[in-house]
Amino acid sequence: MTERAAMKVDAAAGAPIIRSITGMEERDRGPDQYIDLQYSDRGTPDFVRVSARNHHPDKTIKAHFYSLEDDGSGFIPGSWPDRTITACLKPSESAVLRFEEKKHNPRVFLFNAIFIDGD
């Protein structure tokens, strides 16, 4: 199976969006394949803003994310409830998930996503 990475730039924020894509994912696209995570400082160099975007044109996605510190603590979702984030992303919608100080360098990961009915 081949793997490639796609990178695009959000013109409004000027921040890169990076997504890894495998051949299997191209054939069977699940809800997690329609979510991009974006990191930006938005003019405040001491803070990082993490946003998620649903780029599916028609379907709403309920997604669960968790944050992981540099030291690797809290790796298992649910073991640290304060690091679990749930977002309901409407079609072509973006939402801010985290806004934190860069010195802690939080990283946000998607661990579950489903399509849901309704907007």
For residue 16, CA distances in Å to 22, 28, 44, 77 come to: 20, 25, 17, 26
If pLDDT is split at 50, 70 and 90, which confidence band does 3 have? Answer: very low
- Summarised one tens digit per residue, pLDDT across range 5-27 is 444 555 555 555 555 555 544 55
If pLDDT is split at 50, 70 and 90, which confidence band does 105 have? Answer: low
What are the extents of the domains in the chain? 3-116
**Second CATH level (architecture) for the domain 3-116:** Sandwich (2.60)
- Summarised one tens digit per residue, pLDDT across range 53-104 is 999 999 999 999 888 766 655 555 556 667 788 999 999 999 999 888 877 7
- pTM given for the model: 0.68
CB 96 within 8 A of CB 51: yes
